[in-house]
Every structure is written in structure tokens, then in C-alpha cells.
Amino acid sequence: MSSKMAIDSSHAETLEKTSGEQQVQLDFQLKRDIPLGQVKEQESPGILKANSLKKKYDLGEHVVNALMGIDFEVKEGDFVALMGPSGSGKSTLLHLLGGLDKPSEGDVTLAGQPLAALSDKQATLARRHNVGFIFQFFNLLPTLTAKENVSLPLIIDGKNLRKYNQKIDAVLELVGLSDRADHKPDQLSGGEQQRVAIARALVTDPAIVLADEPTGNLDSKTGKAIMDLLRRSCDELGQTIVVVTHDARAAAYADRVVFLSDGNIVHDISYDGVEDMSQRVRTVIETMEVLDT
Ligand code: ADP
């Protein structure tokens, strides 16, 4: 690992906000025998819970009520899509759920910890230990290789990388990028960069992965491959996932689709027993059409 990996925590914090770019296809096998942590058990208490969550942005002249009082629970192993028109509050909700921002009222409980009760430092640690973030623009650090980018959350957490080398290689293999480990982001396609971001999100075995428009910057074929990867992470590793998307085809990969409108949850659809993807997509589109009218 190079000396570039000695990254200070302020630089590291920008990881949760920075940027990157562009495309390709996926061809990999998730392997259950690789050391990615235990397969989590089905049905358990909520891993993420929002109670009466409100968010107001005070703009001086007027106040934007971005979230009006959201009650929302995600159970371990769930794969949930958040949908809704632009401005309906999806990103705001995702940020509050992941502790990136604070609610105006209400509270979020993440992996049993009420975030409101934590100091800023404790909240940062809770986020670091429990949440893997995936962003639309990948947010890879451009001067680091794929492997170094994947290692970042472990470095930030002060882990001894030598002990985690096998784990880092395992997540890179999981996302089909073992042969690109030494490539920097500008040597990777957009789809490959997003796979690096997914490996980075998974490397800490987070309680939950939160993804904000993970396919929004990718062509449809590459986006499909990325959603397929997230689907497999849920099915084969038991990874709990919440994805914000405006794309019905992406939402169809989830088990449950929660619709927001004007800061409220207005529909909550479960796909129990519906295997047919085109049927799932149709259901999402029909619901969106009803919301738009
Ligand atoms: P979505 O992700 O569904 O497009 P957002 O959560 O980004 O919606 O935004 C919800 C509402 O809150 C919108 O009206 C948006 O303009 C407003 N909003 C979001 N972030 C801010 C902010 N930092 N300051 C002021 N208003 C904001």
C-alpha cells in the first residue's frame, strides 16, 4: 500500500461528499465462501428506524418543509427503493437516515442507536461503523487506485490494513475488479468506478448500505448491472440496502418501493411473490403515474 494512504481524517471526511465519473458491463459471480462477513439472518428488528422525521430548511424569506413527518422502518436484509418526483424529499431522507444531516424534529435509530442522543463525534463513528454510502458520481478519490479507494473506510477507522488485505481483495473480487485493483478512477469506466464504490461501501460489513441514485450517471445496461450487483449483495450476503432512484427499472430490483411526495410517504409497495421484472416495473410506473396526476 502506498504512502498516499496516510490520509488525514479531514481528507477522509470528504470521501462522504466528493466526486468521480462514467460506464461498462458486469460479469462476476458472488462467492459465498469469500470472507465478507456472515450471511445475516432473515427477519429481525428494524436496523433503521425513522420516527416522525421532519426537515425544514430555513431560507430566511421562507421555510422549505422538505420532510413533513416520516415514519419509516427498514429491517435487516431488506432491499428498499425510495422513489418520488424531484423535490419530494428522497435525498433529504437518505441523508438523515445515514446521519449525514440532522432532522428538525423526530429521530433516527440506526442499528439500535438513537442518533439524536449522540455527540457529533459519536454520530460520525456510528455512521462510519454502520453505513456504507454509494453516490451517483461515485465519489472516488482520483489520486488513489481502486484498491486504495476501497481501503479508505478502514484507514479512516484506524484499522491495520495488513489484517484486512484479504478482505479488501475479496470485495474487489466480489465486484469483479480484481484485475483493476491498481487502476486509478480515470483509468476505469463509469460502471467500474461505481463497482469500486460498492466494494468500498461493503468492505466494512456495514449494517446498511445507502445509495443515492447509484445508476443516475450510467447508461441503462451498466445501470442494470449495478442494480444486479446490489441485488446479489442483498440475496447472497444478506446486505440491507436502501436506494434512492427515479428509475422504475432500478426500483424493480428492490423488494419494497416506498414513494414520497411533498415530504410525505404516500405509497409503500412490497413485491412479495412477484418475480417477473417487467411486472415490477409496470407496478412502479403505474404508481408514479398516479402520483403525477
Ligand atoms: P429529491 O431528492 O426528492 O429530489 P430533496 O430531498 O433533494 O428532494 O429536496 C426536498 C426539498 O428540499 C426540495 O424542495 C429542495 O429544494 C429542498 N432542499 C433540499 N436541500 C436543501 C437545502 N440544502 N437548502 C434548502 N432547501 C433544500
Ligand 1 atom with the smallest distance to the CA of 260 is 3
Mutational pocket test of ligand 1: of 83, 88, 92, 291, the residue with most ligand atoms within 8 Å of the beta carbon: 92
Domains of the chain in start order, with CATH, are 26-292 (3.40.50.300)
Cβ–Cβ under 8 Å, residues 266 and 273 = no
State residue 222 phi and psi, 5-degree precision: -70, -40
Ligand 1 atom with the smallest distance to the CA of 93 is 6
| Residue 40: pLDDT over 90 | no
CA of 263 from ligand 1 middle (Å) equals 10
C-alpha–C-alpha distance, residues 10 and 27, integer Å: 36
- Please report, as a single letter, which amino acid is at residue 187: Q
Could you say which DSSP state residue 141 is in?
A: -
CA of 171 from ligand 1 middle (Å) equals 33
Mutational pocket test of ligand 1: of 57, 68, 97, the residue with most ligand atoms within 8 Å of the beta carbon: 57
Q: Cβ(66) to ligand 1 under 6 A?
A: yes
CA of 155 from ligand 1 middle (Å) equals 32
| Residue 182: pLDDT over 90 | yes
Distance between alpha carbon 31 and the CA centroid of its chain, in Å? 21
Q: Cβ(13) to ligand 1 under 6 A?
A: no
> What pLDDT band is residue 293 in, cutting at 50, 70 and 90?
low
Q: Cβ(88) to ligand 1 under 6 A?
A: yes
Distance between alpha carbon 288 and the CA centroid of its chain, in Å? 22
The dihedral built from the CA positions of residue 45, 33, 141 and 250, taken in this order, carries a sign that is: negative
Q: Cβ(64) to ligand 1 under 6 A?
A: yes
Which cell is 58 given? 430555513
The single residue listed with the C-alpha cell 440496502 is 241
pLDDT at 291: 78
Read off the pLDDT of residues 137-171 as tens digits, 9 standing for 90 and up.
999 999 999 999 999 999 999 999 999 999 999 99
Cβ–Cβ under 8 Å, residues 77 and 225 = no
Read off the pLDDT of residues 66-120 as tens digits, 9 standing for 90 and up.
999 999 999 999 999 999 999 999 999 999 999 999 999 999 999 999 999 999 9
Q: Cβ(95) to ligand 1 under 6 A?
A: no
